[in-house]
Structure 1
């Protein structure tokens, strides 16, 4: 292999295990309990590769805080760093546990960033302004109800209670992170649970401002997400938007990926139902 065909680094991606010890929802083709075996199978593949980390793009569980006790030990077999971000179903827990979800997943905070190999990775908390994640009585809940009502009145396709938005504070933080990455000559990959592009019924309520920001910055290469289990792909500006397929779907077929970052492109190697793609930059 010539050095140009070797990636600078690689990382693993898992989206939407949505594990719970419950019966399948056959009409939706969701097999919640089977995600334990599927995540274990993905980890076996990841352990055979040199990876910088493995990111799970939210919805680790489908419901019940106790579900974390079953699925998180599966990740202990991973020989690489296991990283997480928050999905809507991760908050399908009793109200007393809402503030404990990020800590249970070992996250430094609900949204965070880190730099590796000359790249900045920015993890968003897409649930911040929602009708389910903030504690009862939090202003973000009231704001979410307002935003949702406004979108519903407009007949917006993403006007659903299972979607959400960033706070203005987090949006400013995202913008500042991209700017500081540019100053450090770092390329950027943003990750979130929710899609923002192409527009869909699963999109963030504030997708437009997020897409406008990412598409206008020359150092933002890709935005990776889950949430819409059938998967999707689009481009805005020079930014690639990749929606990974959900692990929970189908009785036995898996879906996960290894992302290989090269000097001029990103190669996504899909396993199971996940598609392989080449994203030039």
Structure 2
């Protein structure tokens, strides 16, 4: 008997960080970044996805589509236009997380009017995967159902952040107070000296989830529990220490995990941000997959994947630096 076809399949990619610039290095000066070549790797990914059979239902772009270098060069608009033009060749929707590098280049208000916004990229009536309303304010979290009894939740990991907000805004002030309570350094991008080094994630280049977003997330998962849905969650920042290093995590990742653990429906959390990638299966049976970043991938390789969703598992077919993986769902 032939194997059952997947319920759906979708593409995943993280940390493209394109800039029309010569290769450079990370902030530590030791990890090479292929700014200009990353756009070519994205083109290769798009071509591969377009040839997938069965065809993809959508693509998840996990944040940091362009590099912060563009802001210093006055090239942010042009860089984003080039990335979106390549992704626009796909005949399926692309769902975007916002990362720190988007917020180095643009204000949240500007991003909300860009092709990285769900409201702009998928206006009502244009997308069969109807996006459902977000939390109050300018939070960019939303969810959609691409197949029967399957739901995808896009979280806004910089809802709490000092990046991309006006310094006199209430959310900026709230975020700055939280950051300074946890990080005593003049350089808020440094985790050195954070209380007992127990919370090194409290740095400026990370962010967190507001209580309003967490409450909304809880209601979405309650609905999915009641309707026996499988839920895939995505955000730029990892939320489990074993799928990241101790720094590259959402500020209040424990709160996000607490919401997930109070429900039965979440099967996987997808993130970027940590260019080395990471993976763990946590104690509640949730798979945490952090994708390797395109920006630190040599031009002869790549870093993207396709995920096939079945009734009992997800199968990742990785390309280049991303390994294949079978992620079985827990049984209740």
TM over 0.5: yes
Q: What is the CA deviation profile of residues 22-75 of structure 1, one whole-angstrom value per residue up to 9, with x for unaligned ones?
A: 222243211111111011000000001111101100111113331212211111
Match of 2:42 among 20, 39, 45: 39
Partner of 2:270: 224
The answer on 1:137 being equivalent to 2:177 is: no
The answer on 1:101 being equivalent to 2:111 is: yes
Q: Helix, strand or coil for the counterpart of 2:241? A: coil
Match of 2:58 among 53, 61, 71: 53
The answer on 1:183 being equivalent to 2:226 is: yes
* Whole-angstrom distance in 1 between the partners of 2:169 and 2:317: 41
Structure 2: gaps (5+ residues): 120-133, 135-139, 184-193
Q: Helix, strand or coil for the counterpart of 2:113? A: helix
Moved over 6 A (4+): none
Aligned-pair distance for 1:184? 2.2
Q: What is the CA deviation profile of residues 76-123 of structure 1, one whole-angstrom value per residue up to 9, with x for unaligned ones?
A: 2212222212111011125xx431213312422621110121211100
TM-score, normalised by the number of residues in structure 1: 0.94
**Contact preservation (8 Å) 1:56, 1:83:** yes
Q: Helix, strand or coil for the counterpart of 1:166? A: coil
Change in Cα spacing, 1:106 to 1:131, as seen in structure 2 (3 Å) is: closer
* Whole-angstrom distance in 2 between the partners of 1:132 and 1:213: 25
Structure 1: gaps (5+ residues): none
Partner of 1:251: 298
* Whole-angstrom distance in 1 between the partners of 2:217 and 2:108: 24
Tell me the C-alpha RMSD between the 2 structures: 1.6
The answer on 1:25 being equivalent to 2:24 is: yes
Q: What is the CA deviation profile of residues 128-158 of structure 1, one whole-angstrom value per residue up to 9, with x for unaligned ones?
A: 1111132331222122222222322413221
Tell me how many residue pairs correspond in the alignment: 278
- Rg comparison, structure with higher value: 2
**Contact preservation (8 Å) 2:16, 2:65:** yes
TM-score, normalised by the number of residues in structure 2: 0.80
Aligned-pair distance for 1:221? 0.6
The answer on 1:85 being equivalent to 2:116 is: no
* Whole-angstrom distance in 2 between the partners of 1:224 and 1:207: 13
* Whole-angstrom distance in 2 between the partners of 1:158 and 1:210: 14
